[in-house]
Amino acid sequence: MGRLLDRLLDPRFQSIDFLNTFLLTYRVFTTGVTVVAVLRCVLRDPNLRLSNLKIDLELMQTLLEEK
């Protein structure tokens, strides 16, 4: 999921088709809570690279509480 969100948030690859496809299908492999938690972390640290990061909801919550 990290690579998908990396692509989704990369300004070089702005695509409404990719965004729509992601929003229609993300529930197959994750939850809305996880997507929102990851987006919150990226908003707090725009340099965060998600492609090599294993998405762990508890880790994301910890990161959000620290900042």
What's the pTM?
A: 0.64
Interatomic CA distance for residues 43 and 66, integer angstroms: 14
Selected residue with higher pLDDT from 13 and 48? 13
Interatomic CA distance for residues 43 and 21, integer angstroms: 22
**Do the Cβ atoms of 6 and 49 come closer than 8 Å?**
yes
DSSP 14: -
| pLDDT of amino acid 1 | 75
Query: Hey, where are the domains in the chain?
Result: 2-66
Mean pLDDT of 26-52: 81
